[in-house]
Amino acid sequence: METNLKENYLEKIEEIKNIINKYDLDFNQEDNETIEEIKSFALKVLMLGVFNAGKSTLLNKFLNDTKFLKVNSEAETAVPCELKYSTDEKTLIHKTNGKIIRELKDYNVRAEEGAGIEYLEKFLDIKKLKDLGDIILVDMPGLDSSNDAHEEAINKYISAGAYYILLTDPENGGIKDSTGKFLNKILKYPDQFSVLLTKTDLSSKEHCEDVINDLKDQFREKNLDIFIGQTKRGDYRDFERILENIEYNNIFKNIYRDRILDIINLKASYLTTILKNKDLDVSEIEENIRINEENFIEIEKKIEKEKEKFNNNQIKNEIVEEFRNRLNSHFSEFKSAAKKGEGAFNSKAKNIASAELNPIIESILKQKVEYLIQDLQDFALDLPQGDFSSLSIDLEVKIDNFQIFTDTLKGIFKAMLIPIPFLDLFMVAREIFKSKERREEENEELEESVRGAISEVANSVIPQVTKIVDSTKLKVFDTLNKKCKNEQEEIDKILKELIEKKKEEEEEFQKSVTDLENDIAKLKSLEL
């Protein structure tokens, strides 16, 4: 398990800084936030599973400590607990209001006690934690909890990106429905996921093999090759094997490579702006500044128009209608559940809705944002160039900048944390479950009631979907306006500083052209 790519990226960042500082350029706030993220990056390994799957037991055995994680079979552990190395043993409680409290008498936090706590940090003087370096083990709440706080915590960690280890007891028969709804999100990152069968010494070898084969079949249907290991009392070698084989560098690269490339490309474009304006006289550069300002004003107006056209209600209706169609595709499952009673129907509704809704929201919003970005890009390319050849050169510079500008914007959706819907337990169409025996005989009437219940399920998510669409619109257009303003200010600053240099150091500036061209080439040749 190599973890040296982080240091390599920090060295590249220092190279970039040394180059751009020569031209009075520096990293902006967004760049600095990315750099700070990289400096503090640690890969979180989430221990996932239903309650009593053996998560805490396994961690206790692995760390040779039976006291730091309380083991129980109740749905009590209400918050994630991050395990970190330190000679100063302590527990930090991170509250949802941002406050941090030191010390906790008992790691085990019941749901009612966990209200207002976001997560725990437990620092232990254990060599195995020290040896993990930039890898942090996280004991998560049970996936089968009906507690909204548990589900929210799990979703937040999953969305942030990490490595996932799913623990399952073979006596449970593999992956439960309550686990499946989270699994759909995790399997977006198949290289960051493994499965461990726990307590295999309490089941027959044949039964364990059957469970493993069933799991392999499930993953094979999705064209995934997932490692499935086994643990038993005193034997956690497969867990160690998973930790040793985590591809830290690949995961780190997937998170940060494109963001650093964006920084490189943007800084290279600024240096190119200087290079392409170097032969112009002061009045021509001033004219380019004026055109640059006018073009950005037009872009800002265009953004405002697009904001007005971004129809929240229409998008919400598209999402709900597609959700309704997906629910109807599970009609036979709903019908079978309805025959079993209210509890079975509501449980099935929640599991199906949780698995189907978020991909629909993500797909439709992504499509809308991509269309918006393409429209802005086309608009930028059609901006007037001016009458002079020197301004045509300048426009090419501006187009280059807008190209990078719009390419960067394409990453907005990817980087944005879209709130994942937390679905309350559905309580719909109670009349379906009255006189169950009679309705089983009256199949047509049962089907009609199930269709009505499915419609209620679809309509029940409208408030959540509305909130998500509104939030996404706000984030997208705020980011667009911020990017536009930052680009204008940066390019204006570059050109105005260029004027000062031309006025004061014309001869010296001309001699620096070769150095400038070499530095542009250096930036573009940096390998990540």
| CATH at residue 138 | 3.40.50.300
Domain stops at, among 199, 224, 246: 246
pLDDT-derived band at 420, boundaries 50, 70, 90: very low
Measured CA to CA, the distance from residue 221 to residue 219 in angstroms comes to 5
* Whether this model's pTM surpasses 0.75: no
Asked if 87 and 129 sit in the same domain, the reply is yes
Output the pLDDT for position 65. Answer: 62
Measured CA to CA, the distance from residue 83 to residue 100 in angstroms comes to 16
Output the pLDDT for position 365. Answer: 86
Asked if 226 and 273 sit in the same domain, the reply is no
Measured CA to CA, the distance from residue 345 to residue 353 in angstroms comes to 12
* Paired tokens of 321: 């209608």
Provide the residue range defining the domain that includes 276. 5-37+250-525
Output the pLDDT for position 112. Answer: 45
What's the rounded mean pLDDT across residues 154-160? 70
Asked if 366 and 432 sit in the same domain, the reply is yes
Q: Decide which of 91 and 440 is more confident.
A: 91
> Looking at the predicted structure, is the pLDDT value of residue 403 above 90?
no
pLDDT-derived band at 171, boundaries 50, 70, 90: confident
Asked if 358 and 215 sit in the same domain, the reply is no
Ranking 41-55, 147-161, 223-237, 313-327 by mean pLDDT, the lowest is 147-161
Measured CA to CA, the distance from residue 82 to residue 36 in angstroms comes to 20
Cα–Cα separations (whole angstroms), residue 264 to 121, 183, 488, 528: 35, 36, 18, 11
Asked if 125 and 109 sit in the same domain, the reply is yes
The helix (H) or strand (E) run that includes residue 139 is strand 135-139
Give the total number of structural domains in the chain. Answer: 2
Q: Decide which of 347 and 216 is more confident.
A: 216
- Which of 148-152, 285-289, 303-307, 449-453 is modeled with the greatest confidence? 303-307
Query: Alpha-carbon dihedral of residues 446, 449, 453, 454, nearest 10 degrees?
Result: 70
- Residues 306, 309, 310, 315: is their CA dihedral positive or negative? negative
- Residues in Cβ contact with 232 at an 8 Å cutoff, skipping those fewer than 6 apart: 198, 199, 200, 201, 202
Question: Could you report the per-residue pLDDT of 451-483, keeping only the tens digit for each?
Answer: 888 888 888 888 888 888 888 888 888 888 887
Asked if 321 and 213 sit in the same domain, the reply is no
> Looking at the predicted structure, is the pLDDT value of residue 91 above 60?
yes
- Which of 23-32, 63-72, 170-179, 441-450 is modeled with the greatest confidence? 23-32
Of 83, 76, 37, 34, nearest to 62 by C-alpha is 83
Asked if 33 and 51 sit in the same domain, the reply is no
Domain stops at, among 199, 217, 246: 246
Domain stops at, among 246, 269, 302: 246
What's the rounded mean pLDDT across residues 325-337? 90
* Paired tokens of 76: 């009590």
Mean pLDDT score of the chain, rounded to an integer?
77
Query: Alpha-carbon dihedral of residues 379, 270, 29, 32, nearest 10 degrees?
Result: 130
* Paired tokens of 182: 């989270």
Asked if 268 and 230 sit in the same domain, the reply is no
What percent of the chain has a predicted confidence (pLDDT) above 90?
16
Asked if 257 and 239 sit in the same domain, the reply is no
Question: Could you report the per-residue pLDDT of 122-146, keeping only the tens digit for each?
Answer: 999 999 999 998 999 998 887 766 5
Asked if 264 and 175 sit in the same domain, the reply is no
Asked if 497 and 401 sit in the same domain, the reply is yes
> Looking at the predicted structure, is the pLDDT value of residue 247 above 70?
yes
Output the pLDDT for position 369. Answer: 83
Asked if 55 and 14 sit in the same domain, the reply is no
What's the rounded mean pLDDT across residues 95-105? 72
Measured CA to CA, the distance from residue 106 to residue 509 in angstroms comes to 67
